[in-house]
Chains A and B, each alone.
Chain A
Amino acid sequence: MPIPSQALFRMYGRSVQQIVSGNFSQSDIGAPPPIATISELQAYYAAGIDNPAIAPRLHQSVNFGGNYVPAAGDYELRFTPNSEMMFDPTGTPVTYSILDGGFPKGMVANQFRVWVNGNILTGGRNKYLDNYKFKGDNNVVYDVNPPNNLSGDFLQTSNEFGPSAFSNLWWGVHQVFDTTMGISAHVSTVVDASGFTPNLRIDEIYIEGIYTLLVLSVTSDVQNAGPLGEVVINGLNLDFFDEFSVNWYDEGVTDPLGFNTIPIPPNNIVTHTNVLLTIRIPEGVPLNVQLQIMAVQTSGVNFTGSVLLTQINTQLVDGSGIYKLVPGKTNDTYYDRSVAPVGTLDLKIPDPFIRTGFFKG
């Protein structure tokens, strides 16, 4: 009769318990998350919703071949800044009026800064992410001049395990309010046969706008009646200005060579309230010319608004999702973009096995 021999277990590789208790599987399975424009984000912000389940609109999606193997590519997050949102937290544009004319909106030296804090999450598979960078030198994306901190790419070597974090500061001088700007992320991946790909997440986008109202000017219809003539300006927020000058062109000349300007000394300011400004034309101003009164705010006023555009989670189109343990789940799940709408594909995990120790009769 054979003699049964009790063998000792010796585990190789994964333990059985690890295999059967749960595996890494995706939690963000399904269609890409809903997307929102910045204006929608503003609405969320205005409504006091701190963490809406939306993600900004990705400008570019990436086409990739194969079933579930994503491709490396450039990803762009574009948005159009709203000047009122960025630079005027109250949302009320500053306007001025004078006589029968009106102060145009002043020349604004506006600047903005964009902070972007985020994470590269690769589900512990960062070794497949060779590098990532945020590019600020893309003229298509950025309309900034000069790109002070935008020279070069922000590059961080990936880590072997765990999420990597990046933090970068962009600073640009933006000359046009409503020009599209944005963020460009280039994610370069080394995709193995299983199709692991990193997942990019942008946690926060801070936009801080600082603008200084430098100068306002108006061309009035006032004809200078004489050295002692006065110009009465009715307007709003006139306290804002502290220096004034009177300008005119020589008769029949409209080019800059014929431009003349004389500062108005304080003694010539008869009345200066928030809504009324009466200026006595100083000597030297010829008669019967059309005057241009220029009001200047010398020290400048900074309208600083720091607006947190709430938390934004950017789910790349080809992101592989965030992994978590799911009890009882015995396979991995990947996006399958070979079908429409986007489906999922279950893949098996490596074969679980055990081997006993050596035995003999």
Chain B
Amino acid sequence: MAKGGEYISHCVSVKVRVNGIGNIKTALFDFGNTNFFYMVDLAMNDNVTGRTLTALSNFNSELIQAEVRTTAIDEVFKLSRVIPYVKMSKMGYPQ
């Protein structure tokens, strides 16, 4: 795998190790917040399986940034780890 190249990466999912109350909203942004991808809300209340919550995504960018947020009253979360699943997909945009 090439390192340091300005290639296009593809993010297929984000795992968030999070405890809390309410629905957690995850999103992916590119450099400059021009393109973004909102993933399905993850319900922290219903996470009785004990497994890390995973949000599926389909997002391509050179640089990717993940956001985790709650938006309703009395929603809280404690986030300890974010694991994005990313892979190099293209060396560059088509000329």
Contacts and interface: CB of A to CB of B under 8 A. Distances in A.
Nearest to B73: A348
A355 B71 contact: no
A9 B77 contact: no
A360 B85 contact: no
A357 B79 contact: no
A346 to B, nearest CB: 7
A140 interface: no
B47 interface: no
Given A331-B74, A351-B71, A356 B87 contact: no
B79 A354 contact: yes
B64 A358 contact: yes
A6 interface: yes
B45 interface: no
Interface in B67-85: 67-79, 82-85
B85 A358 contact: no
Query: Main SS of chain B's interface residues?
Result: strand
Nearest to A356: B66
Interface string A339-361: 00000001110011111111111
Contacts of B9: 359-361
A20 B84 contact: no
A3 to B, nearest CB: 6
A261 interface: no
A356 B11 CA distance: 14
Contacts of B68: 353-355
Interface in A1-32: 2-7, 9, 16, 19-20
Given A3-B86, A4-B83, A7-B84, A360 B62 contact: yes
B44 interface: no
B86 A19 contact: no
9 contacts: A7-B66, A20-B78, A331-B74, A352-B77, A353-B69, A359-B65, A359-B84, A361-B10, A361-B87
Interface of A: 2-7, 9, 16, 19-20, 330-331, 346-348, 351-361
